Amino acid sequence: MTKVLLEVDSLTVRLGHADSAATLVEELSFSVAAGEILCIVGESGCGKTVTARSVIGLNRNEPGFHTSGKIMFDGRNLLTLDEPSMRRIRGARMSMIFQDPMSSLNPLHRIGTQIEESLAIHGDLGRRERRERTVELLSQVGIPDARARIDDYPHQFSGGMRQRAMIALALAGNPDLLIADEPTTALDVTTQKQILTLLERLRNDYGMAVIFITHDLGVVAEIADRVMVMYAGKCVESGTVREVFHAPQHPYTAGLLASIPALNRPKLPRLQSIRGAPPVLSEGRPEGCAFQPRCAHAFDACSTEPPMTSTGELDHLDRCWLLPAQKRHLANAMEVNA
Amino acid sequence: MISFLLARLVGAVVTLFFVSALAFFATAFAPGNPAAVLLGNMATPERVEAVTRQMGLDQPTGIRYMIWLRETLSGNLGTSNLSFKPVNDLLAAALPATLELALASLLVAVVIALPLGLLVAQHRDSWWSRPTSALVTLGISVPGFWVGLILIVTFSVWLKLLPSAGFVPLSRSVAGNVRSMILPVTTLAIYLIPSLVRFVRVAAIDVLRESYVDTARAKGVGPWAILLRHVAPNTLITTITYIGLQLGVLISGAIVVEVIFSIPGIGRLGMNAVLNRDYPVIQGVVLVAATGYVAVNLLIDIAYALIDPRVRTG
Ligand SMILES: Nc1ncnc2c1ncn2[C@@H]1O[C@H](COP(=O)(O)OP(=O)(O)OP(=O)(O)O)[C@@H](O)[C@H]1O
Ligand SMILES: [Mg+2]
């Protein structure tokens, strides 16, 4: 295996004061190897964004957030790192792009200025060199005629171009890890596809690891090396895309996959169609397995929380009380449905 | 950009036209005969009628408006019914004091309220943020003139440091002018600051939640640079609009302060004119106030275009 770049260990994020605090992310552990694309999937509100923001330290200064556990990046625990050191990591070693490219660029600053700002913070390039580098970055992400567009304002760019500019901005510091929080959700299908291709190409060219958050299992199938399925702030299953898609061990994963007509068809619907709704984390989590109320396979044991167990296959973990034989049945049933 | 400003300019002219019509008809239809007021209780009816004719008040309102409009457009605002001085001269004499008071107070208010609002927003969870906001809210509920009276008692009656009344024009003595304006400007600024701080705080908290602020944080920008480069300019856009809307508050506040500190400005001139039914002066004051209002809003539009590229190039 290649070198582990990021190792998250028992990450727990609470929001609010003392006894009224809600647990948004609980005991979450995962790792990302250098150059790897990890997809995080799960329904809305399951804590994907909170996880991503915790990794890059965006909610460490937000009122009411309490984060515990360990986030090891390059041998250092980011959770105990002081803010100035963390700032030297953000934008340089690790960067992030967001869901809505319409609002993630400052409307009052030129596109070029916003990229140059990052170059000025993290490098020692002079004014001219920064500008040259910015043109280079913009061309690299596929902005046509980058030299002429560098002084444009965000409102003069289309949604797809803004997301490209955001990627250029994220690349400015040559990061080892890019966190992309639903970067294609707000874009049309064609643009979506182009952005995915771009991210994959950048990963291949630079060996940059990517944490890609999405609702869309089609996207996962297309770009991920590994996938982590989250439910109610916890990881319920993780493994290589191949393992998880062909032999899902958790009824929730199986349900998500079953709601897709066929994975190799080009147009895939967004995931959903498991009956019921996930628990609202701010109102406290249910006893035992959080998926139990929606699970067709629930039995007595499910009233206590199942531990993460390995299937025996490399890195394939899941959190479910069903017996291995029953879990195998899940995969088969799904294939019959499909 | 040019067409945007031209459109605003046309709008400004139209606004002024309607305000002038309003100023004329409001006074024309007001009860009471200015000629009678002018002559006092002892005048005979014949004398009142003669003066009424002499002042042109016996003409139909429409015709009087046409005459008034023609004269106004040619820059002649008439003569005061009270002092018989040209309204133009009265306004010209009163304007500098008011302009100085209003602009200096606004400047002081913005220079204090903008950084304060931004800081309170950035540190909205620290121990001092809540007490500061509470103090600001308290400030909103204290009437402006009350602050003025406290200041007069403290600084001129007790400490005898500053004059409590009287205005020294800039042209006569710069030091004297500054001394005479410290208390009035402080009073008016204190009147403006609380609501401005509160507005800036709310606007800045909104901006701090914007996704582009996260982008700036995610690229490693420090908290001060985020506040100055990203939050402040975006907060300024909405704050400028708010200042434009608060202009009425500034004008009414200026009137009160002029009266408290006996500053011979537009506010006091208008106040006396209203008390004495001096219609030409009232009309002149309304026109000047409206022109100021329209001019400031035009300046605000220009400032908009300068700050926001979406207005400039959109
Ligand atoms: N700043 C915040 N204040 C209050 N609640 C929050 C905040 N951020 C997240 N939450 C709550 O935490 C939970 C997880 O939110 P999160 O944004 O991580 O979900 P998500 O998986 O990213 O969902 P989506 O797919 O809709 O983006 C939600 O219940 C949300 O309401
Ligand atoms: Mg999210």
Task: Flag if B215 and A98 touch (Cβ within 8 Å).
Answer: yes
Cα–Cα dist B125/B131, whole Å: 11
| Spatial contact of B177 and B158, defined as CB atoms under 8 Å apart | no
Q: Which of A155, A190, A224 is the last residue of a domain?
A: A224
Domain of A152?
A: 107-174
Average pLDDT over residues B31-60: 78
Structural domains of chain B, with CATH: 16-73 (no CATH), 87-313 (1.10.3720.10)
Token pair 């560098």: residue:
A150
Cα–Cα dist B56/A94, whole Å: 81
Cα–Cα dist B142/B161, whole Å: 24
Nearest to A78 by CA among A95, A62, A51, A54: A54
- Which of A20, A24, A179, A256 gets mutated to test ligand 1 (max ligand atoms within 8 A of its CB)? A24
A240 domain-assigned: no
Q: Which chain A residues are closer than 8 Å to B215 by Cβ?
A: 96, 98, 104-106, 114, 166, 169
Q: Which of A155, A174, A193 is the last residue of a domain?
A: A174
pLDDT for res A52: 97
A63 domain-assigned: yes
Q: Which residues sit with their C-beta closer than 6 Å to ligand 1?
A: A 15, 24, 42, 44-50, 215, 281-282
Task: Flag if B233 and A108 touch (Cβ within 8 Å).
Answer: yes
A100 domain-assigned: no
Confidence of residue B38 (pLDDT cuts 50, 70, 90): confident
Span from the CA of B296 to the centroid of ligand 1 (angstroms): 44
ipTM: 0.89
Cα–Cα dist A203/A177, whole Å: 10
A319 domain-assigned: yes
pLDDT for res A209: 96
Q: Is A119 an 8 Å CB contact of chain B?
A: no
A99 domain-assigned: no
> What is the tens place of the pLDDT at every residue in B156-188?
778 878 887 778 888 888 888 888 899 899 989
- Which of A39, A49, A185 gets mutated to test ligand 1 (max ligand atoms within 8 A of its CB)? A49
A98 domain-assigned: no
Indicate the number of domains in chain A.
Answer: 3
| CATH code, A8 | 3.40.50.300
- Do both A150 and A272 map to the same domain? no
- Do both A68 and A128 map to the same domain? no
Q: Check pLDDT > 80 for residue B13.
A: yes
Span from the CA of A22 to the centroid of ligand 2 (angstroms): 17
Which atom of ligand 1 is least distant from the CA of A50? 18
Task: Flag if A169 and B215 touch (Cβ within 8 Å).
Answer: yes
Among B212, B218, B222, the residue with its CB nearest the CB of A105 is B212
- Do both A167 and A53 map to the same domain? no
Q: Is A120 an 8 Å CB contact of chain B?
A: no
- Do both A115 and A50 map to the same domain? no
Residue type at B191 in one-letter notation: Y
Backbone φ and ψ of A302, nearest 5°:
-70, -10
Which residues are CB-neighbours of B180 under 8 A, at least 6 positions away?
Answer: B162, B163, B166, B167, B168
B131-160 in b/e form (b: 16+ CB < 10 A) is: ebbeebeebeeeebeebbeebbeebeeeee
pLDDT for res B174: 86
- Do both A48 and A145 map to the same domain? no
Q: Is A307 an 8 Å CB contact of chain B?
A: no
- Do both A39 and A86 map to the same domain? yes
> What is the tens place of the pLDDT at every residue in B182-234?
989 998 998 899 889 999 999 999 999 999 999 999 999 999 999 999 999 99
- Do both A80 and A206 map to the same domain? yes
Residue B278 CB neighbour total at 10 angstroms: 26
The span from the first CA to the last CA of chain B, in angstroms, equals 9
Q: What is the DSSP string of B267-311?
A: HHHHHHHHHTT-HHHHHHHHHHHHHHHHHHHHHHHHHHHHH-HHH
A232 domain-assigned: no
- Do both A168 and A188 map to the same domain? no
Q: Which of A136, A151, A174 is the last residue of a domain?
A: A174
Q: Check pLDDT > 90 for residue B51.
A: no
Cα–Cα dist B214/A52, whole Å: 12
Task: Flag if A100 and B211 touch (Cβ within 8 Å).
Answer: yes
Cα–Cα dist B211/B217, whole Å: 10
Average pLDDT over residues B128-152: 77
Query: Side-chain half-sphere of B187: how many Cα atoms within 13 Å?
Result: 29
Task: Flag if A153 and B124 touch (Cβ within 8 Å).
Answer: no
Q: Check pLDDT > 90 for residue B109.
A: yes
Q: Check pLDDT > 50 for residue B114.
A: yes
pLDDT for res A32: 96
pLDDT for res B201: 94
DSSP A257: H
- Do both A160 and A257 map to the same domain? no
**Six token digits for residue B192:** 């403006």
- Do both A205 and A85 map to the same domain? yes
- Do both A209 and A151 map to the same domain? no
Token pair 């985020």: residue:
B226
**Six token digits for residue B220:** 């490693």
Span from the CA of B20 to the centroid of ligand 1 (angstroms): 55
Q: State the angle between helix axes of B174-208 and B87-122 in degrees (0 to 180), rounded to the nearest 10.
A: 40
**Six token digits for residue B226:** 């985020």
Span from the CA of A58 to the centroid of ligand 2 (angstroms): 14
- Which of A12, A26, A28, A46 gets mutated to test ligand 1 (max ligand atoms within 8 A of its CB)? A46
A78 domain-assigned: yes
| Torsion region of A125: left, alpha or beta (phi above 0 gives left; psi -120 to 50 gives alpha) | beta
- Do both A21 and A164 map to the same domain? no
**Percentage of the residues of chain B whose pLDDT score is greater than 90:** 32
Q: How many Å lie between the alpha carbon of A91 and the closest alpha carbon of chain B? A: 4
Which parts of chain A sit beneath pLDDT 70? 1, 261-273, 333-338
